[in-house]
Amino acid sequence: MRIVSGIQPTGQIHIGNYLGAIKQWILLQEKNECVFFIADLHSLTTNYDIKALQNKITEKVIAYIAAGLDPEKSIIFVQSQIKEHTELCWILNTVCPVGELERMTQFKEKSKKFKNNINAGLFSYPVLMAADILLYKAYAVPVGKDQEQHVELARSIAKKFNQKFGETFPEPKSMTAKEGAKIMSLVDPKKKMSKSDDPKSYISLFDTPEDIQKKIMSAQTDSGKDVIYNITKKPGISNLLTIYSLLTNTTTQDVEKQFKKKPYSEFKKSLAKVTIDYLEPFRRKQKELLLRDVYVKEILNKGKTRALTIAQSTMTEVKEKMGLA
């Protein structure tokens, strides 16, 4: 089964990205054909540092590999190096109804957040995401819960295209982790953890042990003293319990029992240690890869070649069916 997913180069990869998506990818690459890319074209919809972009892309590739992606088992490349992404995006724009884009909740949320930069690219972002998926004829897309609506749109576009031009694309399904698909902010546990927010609100995969300790100890908790999972009444402690259970591969109920009648401070100290120990191999691998620039470039070149073969084949078929070739 072919699986496709991507992540923007801007911002840090945080523990929410890892638990919600990347951890799944590592398991999926063992038995599936996986296509993972740096979504640099998507990052153009927000304000970004032009001079820093190429370094950010390299850092993100290193982060992928440090977190466990294997370039021998997965195709890893940069989105903008495969021009077929934008070519297919334009074609799919002619199939996608405007009404479908107007109901996208992420556009509404980002429009409120970036009021000074509401561009057409932000509006049609989900069509490019559909192109990213359909170009490789993916059957499944590992995403967080907030991206499920975009995968549904890709399904809808695939169906419309197939009905109009003949069977071409599989209708992809989203794959979300049962737990951890939506890790919340450490500062405001009612909001999703986001790399575009204050660094205090998230734990980067490569934060120093000191920073991890500081962030977890100052993470927002709730009134009361009991370490109990209750997402409605105790969103702060519930979020920390979810992180603890996923990093230790136990249930939240097991963690509750472990810290029964113990104070929040003791639970937080333990979570900080668990997190620091879990992320230590990532920090070590990142340092090693930062010194191997040629190796990282080789990975991207090989990934580009493999991705291009699939992309060109898909576009040849699409153009023939549409009367463009």
> Would the annotation count 237 as a binding residue?
no
> Would the annotation count 117 as a binding residue?
no
Are the C-beta atoms of 183 and 20 separated by less than 8 Å? yes
> Would the annotation count 192 as a binding residue?
yes
> Would the annotation count 16 as a binding residue?
yes
> Would the annotation count 111 as a binding residue?
no
> Would the annotation count 145 as a binding residue?
yes
Taking the C-alpha atoms of residue 224 and residue 222, their distance in angstroms, rounded to an integer, is 6
Which tokens is 262 given?
């113990």
Taking the C-alpha atoms of residue 250 and residue 261, their distance in angstroms, rounded to an integer, is 19
> Would the annotation count 40 as a binding residue?
no
Tokens 């990347």: give the residue: 22
Which tokens is 107 given?
């556009």
Are the C-beta atoms of 179 and 246 separated by less than 8 Å? yes
Are the C-beta atoms of 268 and 216 separated by less than 8 Å? yes
Taking the C-alpha atoms of residue 136 and residue 307, their distance in angstroms, rounded to an integer, is 8
> Would the annotation count 243 as a binding residue?
no
> Would the annotation count 260 as a binding residue?
no
Are the C-beta atoms of 9 and 187 separated by less than 8 Å? no
**Catalytic option among 160, 182, 195, 273:** 195
For 211, what's the count of Cα atoms within 13 Å in the CB-facing half-sphere? 12
| E strand or H helix at 122 | helix 120-134
> Closest Cα to residue 264, out of 231, 230, 217, 229?
217
304 is catalytic: no
Are the C-beta atoms of 162 and 168 separated by less than 8 Å? yes
> Would the annotation count 172 as a binding residue?
no
Taking the C-alpha atoms of residue 258 and residue 15, their distance in angstroms, rounded to an integer, is 23
Taking the C-alpha atoms of residue 94 and residue 213, their distance in angstroms, rounded to an integer, is 50
> Would the annotation count 322 as a binding residue?
no
**Catalytic option among 56, 60, 110, 215:** 110
110 is catalytic: yes
192 is catalytic: yes
Are the C-beta atoms of 96 and 319 separated by less than 8 Å? no
**Catalytic option among 56, 60, 137, 192:** 192
Enumerate the active-site residues: 110, 192, 195
User: Residues at the annotated binding site for ATP?
Assistant: 8-10, 16-17, 144-146, 183, 192-196
User: Residues at the annotated binding site?
Assistant: 8-10, 16-17, 132, 144-146, 183, 192-196
User: Residues at the annotated binding site for L-tryptophan?
Assistant: 132
